[in-house]
Structure 1
Amino acid sequence: MGTSVGVGYSLSRNPQEAGREAARKALEQQGLSLPDFVFVFATVGYDQQLLIQAIRETTSGAPLSGCSGEGIITQAMVAETNFGVCVMVISSDEMRFDNVYVRDIGRGTDFAGERLAGEIKPLLKADTQACFIFADGLFFDFDPFCRTFETALGAEVHLPLFGGLAADNWTFGRTYQYHDDQVFSQGISSVLMSGPGMVASGISHGCVPIGTRHTITRSKGNIIYEIDGIPALNALEDYVEDGWRDQWNKMSLNLCLGFKTPDTIKKEYGEYVVRYMIEKEDKEGYVKIQSDVQDGNEFWIVRRDKELIRNGLQDISRQIMAKEGTGNPKFVLQFECMGRGKVVFREQEKTELIRSLQEQIGGDVPWIGFYTYGEIGPVSGCNCFHNFTAVVAAIF
């Protein structure tokens, strides 16, 4: 049989109708009746529990993982709306999917990394290829998570991580993670993929530096208190217009922080690692990002560049096609930053960009993805966290 994959989506506003429609389309696409595994990404206008319940019933209770996103992506379809769900069903006698989860990551993502590794380690096999991570984008701090996760797995284990941080509809209020029948927040849903073949990935951001170099002078973990000896928010004033503190979402989507890329990944990734300022605190004047920093770290303010984003998507297809063997991928997962969607491109322009990428990799390949609050993907063998980036994983 090999591997058979189908994808479906729905934009219906009724959660039960949407769940059934998306799952039914996915099953019909490949003539499946009882899939081995199900990926689901959806936006937050739905009653999430009713949505997942309908998908589980339609897919005969097959194991399921996924999360909420700011928008959904399938082959030739992109939708950034409060009501959208996409479903991928997989049936295979060569690939295996084991899903696990952890909750309460608000207690500390370092502790979450250790707990998730404890769930995953007994499931690792010699042919394990990758682990997909869908974490709450409002609580996740990648560096302590990755450090404790990789330490708990052991130095002899190298497990590539791919994925995206769950998002909502720009309210930054609550995101959702899915594991089988369960819908929860402040958690991580994870999928371990094993079997023959390979994962070929491509990663690209589209930001350019503006202004001068800055230095972090007081920080703790992923919180930046002072920049160049003054409160972090005050240091941003030269780059913004009056009233920007009351329009934080708009400002932080246009400007972010660019740190010099470590030499170990610079050749493959480029000059800057981009970080989104997910949160601010006016009284103390700090900003929070989704990975750790240290006093003395230097950075530049960076902004998105539409032409770089376009060129970067072409780079992704070249990266993937340079790594793959022969034939089309079995399926593709795409994790696209919400800052690269409708806030930058007109609807037709955005859709054409995604379609161009899909056609270069395979116009008929089963494809699923979502708009994230952060992306995860390895660079030069190192598991890395990204912002304002597209991460595409093609499974061959």
Structure 2
Amino acid sequence: MQSILHRWFGVGQSSAPDSRKAGSEAAAEAIGGRETKAVFVFASVAHDLPALLSGVRLECGPDAEIVGATTMGELGSAGTTSGGVAVAALGGDGFTVQARAARISRNDPRAAGAAAAEALHGLDDENQVLVLFADGLSGQPHEIVRGAYTAVGAGVPLVGGFAADDRRFQQTYQFIGDEVLTGSVVGLALGSDGPIGIGVAHGWRRIEPPMVVTKSSGPHIYQLDGEPALDVLLRRNNLEGSADQLFNGGRALQPLGLSRRSGEDIRVIHAGDDEARTVWGTADVPQGALVWLMEGDRQAMLDGAAWSCTEAIARLDGLPPLGVLAFDCGGRWAGLVEGGIEQEIQAMRTALSDAPFAGFYTLGEIARVRGALGTHALTLVTLALA
């Protein structure tokens, strides 16, 4: 835990099998008996979630805002857990927090993002950020983020992650106060009298030549360079035949880099239709966009993790980081197995000069800065507070 005069930030983790005990242990470590403004809870769906939140509430008191989500794994300064809980907490007169939640309608997901963004109403702090936790299985995640952006404009950055469920892909949960929600988006508006920095990096590299998305709708890609999209991706991967060959029966992902002024946003293509010869993912790929196949090895992903942290703290006006929230893609976990996960945590520790951090492995990351659309995949998003 760290504190700077009137602001403090701490993290804690627990692998205790008893849910109430796990929540209490992780929160106690993060809070250390101090008066708390906000608690961020990242927990496995294997837990009794109401019991876990009651354990957190015991440590933070009745006035603290509790927000968070279920995960595809938890991470923090001490390492990673699968089936555990990670907690970050902050407090002091230098922080202002407000939270809102909204149900996601499949007919109008933008409205949920806009409603969650109402958490910012009335905040007048010099530095502000909206932290979002949304159901990762509700569909059209980009529309949720667009709704929040429409409500707040370009002046307030957006960060966060899409909730997961330990790779079950059945139902995810979001937390606000003592409530466990599903099919919802939770927004926490955070104001600070210290600088706020955001880092976004993935470590993937372009494979030339690029392709033009000649026909698409939302996350569905029908044509690349005027040909059926599945055929193009199979040929570019030196394969032929079926979607099953490209996606290995659902066990493989196809990263596409979407051209942006600041680099590439990653889109994960995870399925295809053999009859229609189309492919799709979870986030939109605009018609007319320029895209690349992307490649990366373990070292490139580790370098991306370090760069995300470095970018976030570089925006703190020369002040040391008080603490960091981290939103890491569950697909990166899968690509960093057999020692790579521990290497990523160490890379983050080094880049952050051992400042405390906590977060979770997501079904997609949120970061809207410098005009990017806001939804990401296979990416590490970091939020640094000074």
TM-score category of the 2 structures, normalised to the smaller one: 0.7 to 0.9
Assess if the C-alpha contact under 8 Å between 2:8 and 2:91 holds in 1: yes
- 1:389: Cα distance to partner? 1.0
**Whole-angstrom CA distance in 2 between matches of 1:324 and 1:16:** 36
Match of 2:95 in 1: 95
Assess if the C-alpha contact under 8 Å between 1:258 and 1:274 holds in 2: yes
Letter paired with 1:137: G
Are residues 1:136 and 2:128 paired?
no
Assess if the C-alpha contact under 8 Å between 1:223 and 1:292 holds in 2: yes
- 1:229-266 CA distance string (max 9 Å, x none): 554444433325874377444211xx2112222x3x2x
Structure 1 unaligned spans of 5+: none
> 1:221-260 alignment to 2 at 5 Å?
221-238=218-235, 239=237, 243-244=244-245, 247-252=248-253, 255-260=254-259
SS where residue 358 of structure 1 aligns?
Answer: helix
Are residues 1:201 and 2:198 paired?
yes
- 1:331: Cα distance to partner? 1.4
Q: CA RMSD in A?
A: 2.6
Counting matched residue pairs gives: 377
Greater shift after overlay, 353-362 or 39-48?
Answer: 353-362
- 1:70: Cα distance to partner? 0.7
Match of 2:149 in 1: 150
Task: Quickly say closer, same or farther: Cα 1:248–1:165, change in 2 above 3 A.
Answer: farther
Are residues 1:18 and 2:17 paired?
no
**Which of residues 360, 372, 380 is equivalent to 2:370?**
380
Match of 1:361 in 2: 352
- 1:321: Cα distance to partner? 4.1
**Which of residues 363, 383, 386 is equivalent to 1:393?**
383
SS where residue 106 of structure 2 aligns?
Answer: helix
- 1:327: Cα distance to partner? 4.3
- 1:93-124 CA distance string (max 9 Å, x none): 1211111111124333222233333x235233
Match of 1:69 in 2: 71
Letter paired with 2:210: R
Are residues 1:337 and 2:300 paired?
no
Match of 1:123 in 2: 122
Task: Quickly say closer, same or farther: Cα 1:112–1:66, change in 2 above 3 A.
Answer: same
Are residues 1:188 and 2:177 paired?
no
Assess if the C-alpha contact under 8 Å between 2:324 and 2:385 holds in 1: yes
Are residues 1:277 and 2:274 paired?
no
**Whole-angstrom CA distance in 2 between matches of 1:383 and 1:218:** 19
Greater shift after overlay, 277-286 or 216-225?
Answer: 277-286
SS where residue 159 of structure 1 aligns?
Answer: coil
Are residues 1:371 and 2:355 paired?
no
- 1:228: Cα distance to partner? 4.4
Match of 2:280 in 1: 288
What TM-score, normalized by structure 1, do the two folds share? 0.85
- 1:130-178 CA distance string (max 9 Å, x none): 111111122253543344433334x5x6110111111222222221111
Task: Quickly say closer, same or farther: Cα 1:312–1:294, change in 2 above 3 A.
Answer: closer
Assess if the C-alpha contact under 8 Å between 1:202 and 1:316 holds in 2: yes
**Whole-angstrom CA distance in 1 between matches of 2:249 and 2:57:** 38
- 1:51: Cα distance to partner? 1.9
SS where residue 276 of structure 1 aligns?
Answer: strand
- 1:391: Cα distance to partner? 1.2
Assess if the C-alpha contact under 8 Å between 1:220 and 1:294 holds in 2: yes
Letter paired with 2:315: K
**Whole-angstrom CA distance in 1 between matches of 2:17 and 2:371:** 42
Moved over 4 A (4+): 228-231, 240-243, 278-285
Are residues 1:171 and 2:173 paired?
no
**Whole-angstrom CA distance in 2 between matches of 1:246 and 1:289:** 12
**Whole-angstrom CA distance in 2 between matches of 1:220 and 1:150:** 21
What TM-score, normalized by structure 2, do the two folds share? 0.87
Are residues 1:308 and 2:305 paired?
no
- 1:369: Cα distance to partner? 0.9
From the two aligned structures, give the one with the greater helix fraction. 1
Match of 2:56 in 1: 55
Assess if the C-alpha contact under 8 Å between 2:328 and 2:380 holds in 1: yes
- 1:383: Cα distance to partner? 5.9
Assess if the C-alpha contact under 8 Å between 1:3 and 1:90 holds in 2: yes
Are residues 1:40 and 2:41 paired?
yes
- 1:227: Cα distance to partner? 3.5
